[in-house]
Structure 1
Amino acid sequence: MTIQEIRAFNRFYTNLIGALDYSRQLHAPYTLTESRVLYELAHSPRTDAADLRGELCLDSGYLSRLLAKFEKDGLIERVPSEKDTRRRRITLTDRGRETADLLNERSREAVGSLLSTVPPEARPRLVEAMRDIREILSDASRRPPRREDVLLREPGPGDLGWVVQRNAALYASEYGFNTDYEGLVARIVADFAEDHDPHLERVWIAELDGRPVGCVMCVRDEAPGAARLRLLLVEPDARGLGIGDQLVGACVEFARGVGYREMVLWTNDVLSAARRIYQRHGFVLVDEKPHRSFGTDLNGQDWRLDLQGVG
C-alpha cells in the first residue's frame, strides 16, 4: 500500500508541474534535465562533467551528448581544469547565462502561478509538508555532507532577511557583538535590495540539504574600478566543507570577469578563519587600526586583491 501511495503521489506531482512536457511548460526548447544542468552551471562557480554526473546522477554518455548540444548552441565553453588538465572545466557563456536566467525566471513564474491557486492560509502547511518529505527521504539515505553537495545560488525570497538574521545571531554568539552590528548588516542588505546593478553586484547563498548555510556579497566600492567583498558567513555546523573558500572564490571570479581592477574588504583580526581564506585567495593586508565597535574592542583590517594579476 505504501509503494502504491508513493507512486500515485509521483504521478500526481509530475503531472501537476508539467514535468513530462517541461519545455512546453516553460515555453523553451530545453527538457527538464537540460534545464537542470543549466541551473547547476549557473549556480556553481567551478564545474566539470564529473561534478555534474555526481550531482545529477546522469549517465556519462548522455551528459556528454547534452554538453555537446549546449556547446553547439553557444551556451557553454569547455577548457582544461586549472587543477587537473585531464578534466574539462565547463562555464556558461553570456548567452548561456541569459538562457539559464530566463529558464529560472519562467520556472519561478510557473511555481508562482501554481501557488496562487492555493489559499494563503494553506501555504505554510504545504511548505511544511514538502520540507517533511525532503527531510525524511534525506535522512533515509543520509551520509556525511561533502563539498560537492554545496550549491551556490542567487538569493530567493526571504534569503536577504536570513543574511541579516544569521549575521546578527552568529556574531553575537561567537564574538559578543551587540545590535549595532545587526543595524549595519541590515543597512548593507537594504541598500543592495533597493538599488544594485545586477551586472556588477551579486549575492551568493550557499545551500546544503535544501537550507542556506552561508553567504557572501560583491558590491561596487567607492573607489573607481574596485569591488568590495562583504558579509562572508558560514554556519557553524557546515564548516569544514570549504564553503567559505567556494563563496570567496565565486566572488573573486565574478569581480574579475566583469572587469573590476581590484577587490577590497574590511574585517577584524578576531575573524581568524575568514582571514586565512582571504590569504589563500591572494588578498594582502594593507592597513589595520584598533577601534571600538559593536560593543567590543576590535582591531580592524583592510585587505586588497589585485584582480588584473594572474588569476
Structure 2
Amino acid sequence: MRRFNRFYTNLIGVLRAGLLDSPYSLAEARVLYELAAAPGPALEVADLRHGLDMDAGYLSRILGRLENDGLVVRERSDADARKQRIRLTDAGRAAQGELDERSDAQAAALLATVTETDRRRLIGALDAIESILGGGSASARTVVLRPPGPGDLGWVVQRHGAFYAAEYGWNEQFEAMVARIVADYAESRDPRWDRGWIAEVDGEPVGSIFCVRAGREGEATAKLRLLLVEPKARGLGVGGRLVDECIRFAQRAGYREMVLFTHDVLADARRLYQRAGFVLDSEERKPAYGQDLVHQHWRRIFLNPAR
C-alpha cells in the first residue's frame, strides 16, 4: 500500500513545488476546489476545515496566502459574527478553473494509451479501493452491464462449465451445450433481434445473459439464455438487473413473448424468473449432464410489445 502511494504521488506530481505546474500546493488547490464546489457563494471556515480534516492553524495560513493573492475574501457571517465565511473572488474562480483544466488534461494524458478493457479494470479497482478504505458496503459496489467484447464469449463458456461442475456436478456435456449456444449467437446474431450482456463488478466480469430469437426472423418468441451470476457477486442485484435488461430489450425489439429453459435445482434463478413474471409451462424428469434432472420450460407474455 505504501509502495502504491509513493508510485501514485510521483505519477501525478503532488510532491512538486507547485501542483500541475501552478504556483499552488496540493492543499491550496484543494481549498480552491472546495470553495468552487460549495453550494452557495461562500462557505463557513469551520465547515471547510471539517470537510478537509485540516488543522485550523494550517488552514488559516493557506487562506492568508490565498487572500494576499486576491483569490479569496474572508468576512464575518451575517448570522453569527463569531464565525468567518470564505468566498472566491473572480480571480480565484479563474485560477481554480485553470487548475481544473490542467487536471483534466493530466488525466487524459495518463489514460491516452490505456485500452478500453484496462480502463474498465482501472475504474473497477478505484471503486474497490474507495469502497474498502472508505468503509463502503458491498451494496455500494459498482455494477455495470455492457455488450460482450473480445474474449467474453469464451469466458461465458468457461465459467458456465466450471461453475455448474463445482456447484451441481454437471459434466462436460453441459459445457459443450453452452459452447454451441455461444457459437450460434456469434455466427448468426442479428442486432435487431439478438443481444447479449456481460455484468461487471469492480471491472471484472461476474455475470451474463443473452436474448435470442426462438426461430426464423419475424417470429414473435424470444429466448432468454445463459444467465450466470458468479458466487462472489451474489447479493448485489446482478441477476435481477440482467433479467430486467434482457426483458426490456425483447419488448423493444417487438417480441410478443419470451421463453426459457432451466432446471428445478436452480432455485435462485427460478426465483428471479418468477419475480420477472415468468410462468412455468411444463416440466419433465430425465437424465442430463450426468445427473437426474427435472427440466422446466417457462414463459412470459408481453401484453404491450413495442411493435
TM-score, normalised with respect to structure 2: 0.59
Letter in 2 for 1:159: D
Aligned length: 207
In the TM superposition, what whole-angstrom CA distance separates every residue of 1:19-59 from its partner, at most 9, and x where no partner exists?
A: xxxxxxxxxxxxxxxxxxxxxxxxxxxxxxxxxxxxxxx99
Within 5 Å, give how 1:257-276 maps onto structure 2.
257-276=252-271
Aligned to 2:154: 161
In the TM superposition, what whole-angstrom CA distance separates every residue of 1:67-90 from its partner, at most 9, and x where no partner exists?
A: xxxxxxxxxxxxxxxxxxxxxxxx
Are 1:145 and 2:138 counterparts? Answer: yes
Deviation at 1:140, TM superposition (A): 4.0
Are 1:293 and 2:288 counterparts? Answer: yes
Q: Give yes or no for contact 1:147–1:242 (8 Å, CA) kept in 2.
A: no
Within 5 Å, give how 1:160-239 maps onto structure 2.
160-222=153-215, 224-239=219-234
Letter in 1 for 2:166: S
Taking only aligned residues, the RMSD between alpha carbons, in angstroms, comes to: 3.7
Q: Which among 249, 252, 255 is matched to residue 254 of structure 1?
A: 249
Distance of 1:179 and 1:59 partners within structure 2: 59
Q: Secondary structure at the match of 1:146?
A: helix
1:241/1:132 CA distance change after superposition, 3 Å: closer
Letter in 2 for 1:7: I
Aligned sequence identity (%)? 48
Deviation at 1:308, TM superposition (A): 2.3
- Rg larger in 1 or in 2? 2
Aligned to 2:11: 6
Q: Which runs of 5+ in 2 are unaligned?
A: 15-36, 40-111
In the TM superposition, what whole-angstrom CA distance separates every residue of 1:247-268 from its partner, at most 9, and x where no partner exists?
A: 1000001100110000000000
Letter in 2 for 1:172: A
1:207/1:306 CA distance change after superposition, 3 Å: same
Q: Which runs of 5+ in 1 are unaligned?
A: 10-57, 61-112, 117-125
Q: Which among 297, 304, 307 is matched to residue 302 of structure 1?
A: 297
1:229/1:147 CA distance change after superposition, 3 Å: farther
Q: Give yes or no for contact 2:264–2:270 (8 Å, CA) kept in 1.
A: yes
Q: Secondary structure at the match of 1:194?
A: helix
Distance of 1:297 and 1:238 partners within structure 2: 28
Q: Give yes or no for contact 2:220–2:255 (8 Å, CA) kept in 1.
A: yes
Distance of 1:274 and 1:306 partners within structure 2: 19
Aligned to 2:94: none
Aligned to 1:43: none
1:146/1:226 CA distance change after superposition, 3 Å: same
Deviation at 1:173, TM superposition (A): 0.6
